[in-house]
Structure 1
Amino acid sequence: MDATQAKAEDREPSAEAVRRYLLDDPALLRGDADLLAELGLKVDGGNVVEFGPAALARVHAAHREESFARRYLEATAQENFAAQAQTHGAVIDLLEARNHADLARRVDELAQRRFGLVAGALALEGPGRTPAGWRMLVAGQVDLILGDSQRLEAMGFQPTALGLFGDRSGQVQSTALVRMAIWEPARQGLLAFGSTDPHGFTADMGAELVAFIARVVERTAERWPVL
């Protein structure tokens, strides 16, 4: 910044200086119709400055934006609370499973009844027997479905997962997939949920609640050997 610019800025009045000036000489503002119009103000018959249509519109717009933001936050909080409550209820249902087949049935049932989805499925890679009610996968198929050997979950539409949903696969428009590791040595598996809504599961959606259910399924499934 050169000396000329510095001097020019020094000559520019501060907001506080302008305020003090108008307080000392309010007639300047009241007598300038163009300035009042630009600010969206007007002077009423009692010589009092009122808000004009432009100013009122700005105030109304600001209030509307604030109300929308508040309603959005409240709705988001309510949805999160409802999802957590449903997840906790789902966990209790899963823990009451009597065997692997019952566990798979409960996953599908809670997907439809609690979450309004089209299907829920459990899948397990070989070698070895596949529990009744679970989808059988070949070794390495979990990586193929998820698209990455290091990937733990996938949210959104995953065409490679459609086969997990059997005769309801044609209704699935988005999926939530979480990798599982069950028994020792670990066998790779998947928990899969399918939605008819293309926006039911999206790539930018957090997978925390679905992953939590997957961890419950893992621990519950380890109660019994595969017969």
Structure 2
Amino acid sequence: MSTQLPRAVTPLADELREKIISDPDMVLEDLDVMRALIAANERGTGANVVDLRGLAMERLEERLERLEDTHRGVIAAAYENLAGTNQIHRAVLQLLQPTQFTEFLNALSGEVAQTLRLDSVKLLLETKVTEEEPAIRKLGKVLITAEPGFIENYITYGRNVPVRPVTLRQVSPETDVIHGDSFVHSEALMTLDLGLGRLPGLLIFGAEDPHMFRPTQGTDLLTFFAGVFERMMRRYLG
């Protein structure tokens, strides 16, 4: 005579048991279910027993969560960089369309500014002419001129520091000479080499958002844009 007691189960419990046996990954991959099972096991071991395996699992879970957060951050940064690359490429194509210098400047302050989501665009050229020539005044508000040495002084605030190809920063009272009392709160400064025997130039992007241009940002895309822009300027300057 058998002394084994019958297993008290309901049809639903049998069905669930068979499902778990046939597909155990369904339980193992569910973190909430696994936590509930581990917690039930810890309650059964008593308060004077330390579950080292459980502690190790918790630390591994925390590490996994940090890795997943880092992974999401890397993916987000990659998408942002791709979007920025596409914007720069569209802006370069828009600059290649004009055939006249006036049209070139109009595209810079129009389509290009809209594509790059800029609130202000300035092209500064150093010149030995003390007053603006009539031909320069006809080119609109995008093009401005300054005496030799102005660009270096503007970028460095007069300090003895090296001038970088691209400088990103928030505006300050020293930048009022370019932006005046305007809504621009951050700027990107790109130095332009206009060729042998010519004074340098400076391409200035301005944004109302004070965080659009920050010193901690990468400058590869703007360096590329400036390189294309200065080569186009050499073509117009002859």
Report the TM-score, using the length of structure 2 for normalisation. 0.65
Partner of 1:224: 236
Deviation (angstroms), 1:126: 0.7
Q: Matches of 1:114 and 1:205 in 2, distance apart?
A: 19
Q: Matches of 2:161 and 2:58 in 1, distance apart?
A: 56
Task: Show the 5 A alignment for 1:15-34.
Answer: 34=48
Deviation (angstroms), 1:223: 2.0
Matched, 1:69 2:105: no
Q: Matches of 2:161 and 2:47 in 1, distance apart?
A: 71
Distance 1:170 1:158, change over 3 A: same
| 1:155 counterpart letter in structure 2 | L
Deviation (angstroms), 1:76: 0.3
| Of 135, 138, 157, the match for 2:170 | 157
CA contact (8 A) 1:125 1:137 kept: yes
Partner of 2:96: 95
Partner of 1:172: 184
Q: Matches of 1:136 and 1:178 in 2, distance apart?
A: 15
Q: Matches of 1:136 and 1:73 in 2, distance apart?
A: 42
Q: Provide structure 1 residue ranges, at least 5 long, that are not aligned to the other structure.
A: 1-29, 42-50
Q: Provide structure 2 residue ranges, at least 5 long, that are not aligned to the other structure.
A: 1-43
Tell which deviates more after alignment, 70-79 or 148-157.
148-157
Tell which deviates more after alignment, 152-161 or 133-142.
152-161
Q: 1:27-71 deviations in whole A, cap 9, x for unaligned?
A: xxx97853425x3x6xxxxxxxxx4xx666545433322221111
Partner of 1:27: none
Q: Matches of 1:220 and 1:165 in 2, distance apart?
A: 25
| 2:207 counterpart letter in structure 1 | S
**SS state of the match for residue 36, structure 1?**
coil
Deviation (angstroms), 1:123: 0.9
CA contact (8 A) 1:120 1:194 kept: yes
Q: 1:158-201 deviations in whole A, cap 9, x for unaligned?
A: 434444346xx521111110111214412211011112222211
| Of 201, 205, 225, the match for 1:213 | 225
Distance 1:111 1:198, change over 3 A: farther
| Of 192, 206, 212, the match for 2:204 | 192
RMSD: 2.8
Aligned residue pair count: 182
| Of 145, 153, 164, the match for 1:136 | 145
CA contact (8 A) 1:123 1:190 kept: yes
Q: Matches of 2:146 and 2:161 in 1, distance apart?
A: 15
Q: Matches of 1:100 and 1:81 in 2, distance apart?
A: 30
CA contact (8 A) 2:148 2:199 kept: no
| 1:34 counterpart letter in structure 2 | N
| 2:223 counterpart letter in structure 1 | A
Identity %: 24
| 2:202 counterpart letter in structure 1 | L
Distance 1:98 1:149, change over 3 A: farther
Tell which deviates more after alignment, 137-146 or 92-101.
92-101
Deviation (angstroms), 1:97: 2.5
Partner of 2:5: none
**SS state of the match for residue 182, structure 2?**
helix
**SS state of the match for residue 190, structure 1?**
strand
CA contact (8 A) 1:179 1:189 kept: yes
CA contact (8 A) 1:143 1:149 kept: no
**SS state of the match for residue 211, structure 2?**
coil
| 2:182 counterpart letter in structure 1 | G
**SS state of the match for residue 220, structure 1?**
helix
Partner of 1:36: 50
Q: Going by fraction, where is strand more abundant, 1 or 2? A: 1
